[in-house]
Every structure is written in structure tokens, then in C-alpha cells.
Amino acid sequence: MDNLMQKRPFIVGKDNYTKLERVSLSKGDFQEEWLQKLLQNSPQLLPVAEIDAIYAPLVCIGREVATAAGYIDNLYISPKGYITIVETKLWRNPEARREVVGQIIDYAKELKQFSYERLDKIVQAYNKSYFGKEQNLFETMLGHQFLREEDETLFVDLVEKNLFNARFLLLIVGDGIRDGVWRMTEFLNSTPNMLYSLGLVELEVYRLPTNDKLVVPNLLMKTQTVERGVFRFEQGRVSPVMVEHKEFEDYIMKSKGKISKEDFIQLLTTRNPKISLDNASRFLEDLVDLGYVITPYGKEDLRVKYPMPGGGSYLNVIYFSSKKNGRAYKNVNSLERDLLKFGYSPEIARSFYKELELYQDDNLGGNSTINHDLMKMINSSDEVISAFDKLRSNF
């Protein structure tokens, strides 16, 4: 904590600058209700995608949700049925600093007992109270245009599964995370049957010259998602031990339809625990940032394509598979043919594959495909993303 640097934001004009005044949320000007309402109306302030993309985007489905352990401040869900529990804390009360971690874990234990029907009733009551309409949970997701009518059965199944497994994201959000909260590892070993992730988010609030406020969210700490909650104590610290977990893989294999990017990452890292979920997520997001479009390809693979100039057409670049511990593949000469079809030199494809030669592994597929070790590509993300960047610079 002593090494955290104090940020000092400035507004820079043409000939001058203004240092912004940080507003203390602990001096009585603000209440936790203000913070809860802010996060209810602006869930995008919470950096959940930096913890795990499956929890984003957030849709608020409850405030002051009653459980046997107390009231959950803010409750959210993603279109994939993954639930986020938020506990807000302004650090006026010293007891809160020591109790907040245990408190939010107790909420998770209680939420694990919920059925889909019970959660659905909570969402209906929330919508009636705040918006004057009794929309259920699925109707709420439809209203946000995140799901289609035909997604209902799969969505309900995913929510029920995540409730049963307590696959939640727990976020403690406050105006400054104090030393006592950082010593959270003692709580983790007490919940061996839960699959939650936990993060600490600090909200810095600054007063603008217009009296509006600038809010800066900082993700201070996150735990790994721990399969079956197994921990090891070594050299004075608690660390998670990853255990083989086949349940998610079995579920995906039985599901209908095409795999999503988030479920592909989960399936890939389940099959190959040597691949970090964070690294895999960041790798795909970096490709998207370059302008690549990643779409499902069947129940287990993803297709990576690039929009060609003029719009309406895409160059199929490569496919990612969760099989064989992760592979990237493309039919021999197919990229060259596609480039010729769009009026570009096939030499572009050869240069691209030359950049990826280090990761090529012919043992991963047949003679008709060019195959690369996806784990090696993800673990060498900077070099691989550079190769994709060079490819797109030709268009």
C-alpha cells in the first residue's frame, strides 16, 4: 500500500492548466446510497472486463437485495448469465475495513442457495420499484437487446448453473481500499466449494471547474477464478491450486448452437490450464482493437476475419480451436486464394505465415492445414499481435 502513487489529474488548455481537486467521499458530503445509485445507473464504471470478460457487460438487476446474511448493495448479471455482487464501502467506520471481505463472501454463500425462480422474482420487484414495470430477468435482457427470444432456454440454464456453482464476481467498491482489506486471503480457504473471483475497486472523484464530477475507477486487486477452491499456503502466502474441471466442458459439448468468444476462452483454459484466462482474453481483445472481427465457428472454434476496404466483405484470416490444448489453423493456400480474390498479392499471406513460423506445429493437424500452437501464440502475445498488425497494414 505504501508504494501506491497518488494520481494528480489536470485539465490542460491551450495556455494554462488546472489541477483537479479530489473530493473525499468520507467527509460527509456523500453517502453509500449515492455510490450505490451511481453504480446502478452507470455500471460501466466497474472494470469487470479487466477481471474476466464473461462478466461484461453489466446489467443491474437489484439494489439492496435481501439475503439471510444482509442486503446486497448492487446486483448485476451479464448476457451470459454470470452474476456480479457489489459491496460499496465509504471508510468512515473502522470495523468495515476488517469485515467487508467476509461480508461479501457471506452474500455469495447465500446467493448460491437461490433458484432461478427466486432470482427472477427479485428482478421483477426491482423493475417495478425503479421503473414501474414488472419485467422478469429474461425480459430485462431482451430490453437491453443483449439476447434474442430463442436464447431463453440456454440463458436460464447458464444462470441456474452459475448460481449452483457460485460462479460469481465479488467486487468491493469504495473511496480508498485500506490495509485491512488487503489481508483477504484468510477468508478464501473457508469457501472450498465456490468458484468466485474477487476484486477491489477504488473510485476517485474529482471536482471539475463546472462543478461536475470526474470519476476514475481503479482496479486495485483481483483474485484468479479458482476451480473447486483449492489453496496452498507457501512461504507465508496463500496461492490457488488449479484443479482439473470438466464440468464446463461437458456443458458446452451438450449445448446447442455456436460457441461465444467468452465460452471459448473458458473452454480453452479448462482444457489447457497452462493458458491463463486473463492472457487469453487480452489476446483476443487485442485482435479486436486492431480491427479484426472474431465470430463463432461451430461449437468449439472461433473464426478471425478482417473487414476489407469498401465494406461488406471480410478476409478469413485464421481459426482458433479449443481442441488439442489449443491450436490455430487455416487450410493450405486458402489465405492466398482469398487475397487474390480481393485483388491483393498472395505474398502478403506468405509474409504473415513467415511471421508465425515460430509457433507452427504440424503435429496438430493434417496435411491440408497449416497449424500453430495457440498456447505459444497467446504466451507470446506482443510478437503475434505485431504480425496481425503487419497483415492489416496491407489493406
The full DSSP string for 291-333 is T-EEEEETTTEEEEEEEPTTSS-EEEEEEEESSTT-EEEEETT
- pLDDT at 16 exceeding the cut of 90: no
Report the number of distinct structural domains present in the chain.
2
Q: Give the residue carrying C-alpha cell 483477504.
A: 184
Instruction: Please say whether the beta carbons of 186 and 167 come within 8 A.
Output: no
Residue ranges of the alpha helices (H) in 166-219? 179-182, 185-188
Q: Decide which of 209, 240, 271 is a domain's last residue.
A: 240
The number of beta carbons lying within 10 Å of the beta carbon of residue 24 is: 13
Rounded-to-integer distance, Cα 171 and Cα 167, Å: 13
In a domain, 44, yes or no: yes
In a domain, 74, yes or no: yes
Residue-wise pLDDT for 116-135, tens only, equals 999 999 999 999 999 999 89
Q: Decide which of 240, 269, 302 is a domain's last residue.
A: 240
User: Could you tell me the sign of the dihedral formed by the alpha carbons of 270, 273, 277, 282, in that order?
Assistant: negative
The pLDDT of 309-331, averaged and rounded, is 90
Label residue 193 by pLDDT band (50, 70, 90).
low
Residues 282 and 346 in one domain: yes
Query: How remote is the C-alpha of 141 from its chain's centroid?
Result: 18
Residue 104 burial by CB count (10 A; 0-12/13-18/19+): exposed, middle or buried?
buried
Residue 139: per-residue pLDDT: 96
Residues 268 and 156 in one domain: no
The pLDDT of 304-323, averaged and rounded, is 89
Residues 346 and 236 in one domain: no
Residue bearing the bigger pLDDT, 249 or 392: 392
Label residue 255 by pLDDT band (50, 70, 90).
very low
Q: Which residues pair with 203 in a beta bridge?
A: 217
Rounded-to-integer distance, Cα 330 and Cα 335, Å: 8
Residues 229 and 281 in one domain: no
What are the backbone angles phi and psi of residue 123, rounded to the nearest 5°? Answer: -65, -40
Give me 328's grid cell: 490455430
Residue 346: per-residue pLDDT: 93
Rounded-to-integer distance, Cα 188 and Cα 105, Å: 9
Residue 192: per-residue pLDDT: 52
In a domain, 23, yes or no: no
Range name among 72-86, 193-207, 267-281 with the lowest pLDDT average? 193-207
Residue 227: per-residue pLDDT: 36
Residues 181 and 296 in one domain: no
Residues 168 and 265 in one domain: no
Residue 99: per-residue pLDDT: 72
Q: Give the residue carrying C-alpha cell 437485495.
A: 65
Residues 232 and 361 in one domain: no
Residues 98 and 233 in one domain: yes
Rounded-to-integer distance, Cα 55 and Cα 84, Å: 7
Residue-wise pLDDT for 347-356, tens only, equals 999 999 999 9
- pLDDT at 149 exceeding the cut of 60: yes
In a domain, 207, yes or no: no
Percentage of the residues of the chain whose pLDDT score is greater than 70: 80
The pLDDT of 252-267, averaged and rounded, is 71
CA 337 vs CA 141, 315, 352: distances in Å: 42, 10, 14
Task: Please give the full DSSP string across 91-130, using - where no structure is assigned.
Answer: TT-HHHHHHHHHHHHHHHHHHTT--HHHHHHHHHHHHHHH
- pLDDT at 315 exceeding the cut of 80: yes
In a domain, 360, yes or no: yes
- pLDDT at 65 exceeding the cut of 60: yes
- pLDDT at 10 exceeding the cut of 90: no
Residues 269 and 122 in one domain: no
Range name among 103-107, 124-128, 210-214, 374-378 with the lowest pLDDT average? 210-214
What are the backbone angles phi and psi of residue 304, rounded to the nearest 5°? Answer: -110, 120
Residue bearing the bigger pLDDT, 122 or 105: 122
- pLDDT at 328 exceeding the cut of 60: yes
Label residue 4 by pLDDT band (50, 70, 90).
very low
User: How, if at all, do strands 327-331 and 314-321 pair?
Assistant: antiparallel
Q: Name 212's Cβ contacts closer than 8 Å, sequence gap at least 6.
A: none
Percentage of the residues of the chain whose pLDDT score is greater than 90: 44
CATH of the domain at 299: 3.90.1150
Helices (H) and strands (E) in the chain, counts: 14, 16
Residues 73 and 100 in one domain: yes
Instruction: Please say whether the beta carbons of 35 and 23 come within 8 A.
Output: no
The pLDDT of 74-83, averaged and rounded, is 95
Residue bearing the bigger pLDDT, 334 or 24: 334
State whether residue 8 is helix, strand or coil. Answer: coil
The pLDDT of 153-174, averaged and rounded, is 89
Residue 89 burial by CB count (10 A; 0-12/13-18/19+): exposed, middle or buried?
buried
Label residue 248 by pLDDT band (50, 70, 90).
very low
Label residue 21 by pLDDT band (50, 70, 90).
confident
Residues 53 and 187 in one domain: yes
Residue bearing the bigger pLDDT, 361 or 174: 361
In a domain, 386, yes or no: yes
* DSSP summary character for residue 358: G
Label residue 254 by pLDDT band (50, 70, 90).
very low
Q: Decide which of 188, 213, 240 is a domain's last residue.
A: 240
Query: How remote is the C-alpha of 295 from its chain's centroid?
Result: 17
In a domain, 315, yes or no: yes
CA 76 vs CA 64, 261, 307: distances in Å: 12, 20, 34
Residues 178 and 310 in one domain: no
- pLDDT at 145 exceeding the cut of 60: yes
Mean pLDDT for all residues in the chain? 81
Residue-wise pLDDT for 207-247, tens only, equals 788 777 788 888 876 654 433 333 333 333 333 434 344 44
* DSSP summary character for residue 193: T
In a domain, 252, yes or no: no
User: What is the domain extent for residue 84?
Assistant: 34-199+222-240
Residue 256: per-residue pLDDT: 46
